Structure 1
Amino acid sequence: MTLQDKLTTAAATGNTADVEALLREGAQVNGVNRFGRTALQVMMMGSTPVAQLLLERRADPNVTDRSTGTTPLHDAARTGFLDTARLLVQFRADPQATDNNNCRPIDLARENGHVEVVDFLQSQ
């Protein structure tokens, strides 16, 4: 397993300590795993410490999924993780980014009934 695969696995499971150790070992914060996805794209959405660590290490908050066009902010909005959405915006995630279906993060939050995320994104 490559360092990038290990990094994305650690991010996906919300393991902040492993993410930090792998970045120290030389894993690239914006590098892709064997599926073409970055750690920020696959991170456990409710894991704010992992998101914070990746973003502080300059993970690209506007990286898009090559098949859907979604960004991490789309994912946070769709799943209703307000803290993650706030953090992504703080690190310059674009709330107006559209996916391949021309949906913005706020549209996905609205579709899924995440009122607090909708309210936050409306204020951006």
Structure 2
Amino acid sequence: MTLEDELTSAAAQGHTAEVSRLLQAGAQVNGVNRFGRSAVQVMMMGSTPVAEVLLRHGADPNVADRRTGATPLHDAARAGFLDTVRLLVNYKADPRAKDKANCQPIDLARKSGLTDVVAYLECVLSGNSGL
């Protein structure tokens, strides 16, 4: 198992300390596991601390899934993790990114009835990121 496999596994399980340890041990933050996915793509979306460690170490917040075109922001918006959505936007995730179904993250939040995420992304898209 490569360090990147271990890193994606730790990120998916929400193990912040293990993610930090693996990055310090030389795991590449944007490296991919044996399935071609990076840690920020598979991270436990509800674990803002994991997201913060990855992003602080230079994880690409705009990496898109090869099959669906979804970015981490799409995933966090769809699942309603407002803290992770905010963090990703703060680290320059593109709120206008479209997946292969031509949906932006706000569209996915709207479809899921996640009004707090929709309200935040509306502010970001209008240029008012003061929320």
Query: What range is the shorter-chain TM-score in?
Result: over 0.9
Aligned to 2:71: 71
- Whether 1:53 and 2:53 are equivalent positions in the alignment is yes
> How many corresponding residue pairs?
124
1:95, distance to aligned residue in structure 2 (A) = 0.2
Q: Any stretches of 5+ residues in structure 2 without a counterpart?
A: 125-131
Q: Any stretches of 5+ residues in structure 1 without a counterpart?
A: none
Q: Deviations over 1:38-83 (max 9, x none)?
A: 0000000000000000000010000000000000000000000000
Identity of aligned residues (%): 68
Distance (whole Å) between structure 2 residues aligned to residue 82 and residue 55 of structure 1? 16
Aligned to 2:106: 106
Instruction: Name segments (4+ residues, structure 1) moved above 6 Å.
Output: none
Residue 27 of structure 1 aligns with an amino acid whose one-letter code is A
Aligned to 2:127: none
Aligned to 2:129: none
Aligned-pair Cα RMSD in Å: 0.4
Distance (whole Å) between structure 2 residues aligned to residue 104 and residue 77 of structure 1? 9
Residue 48 of structure 1 aligns with an amino acid whose one-letter code is T
Distance (whole Å) between structure 2 residues aligned to residue 20 and residue 74 of structure 1? 24
Aligned to 2:80: 80
Aligned to 1:16: 16
Residue 74 of structure 2 aligns with an amino acid whose one-letter code is H
Task: Give the alignment of 1:11-50 within 5 angstroms.
Answer: 11-50=11-50
Residue 29 of structure 2 aligns with an amino acid whose one-letter code is V
Q: Deviations over 1:91-120 (max 9, x none)?
A: 000000000000000000000111100000
Aligned to 1:4: 4
- TM-score (norm. length: structure 2): 0.94
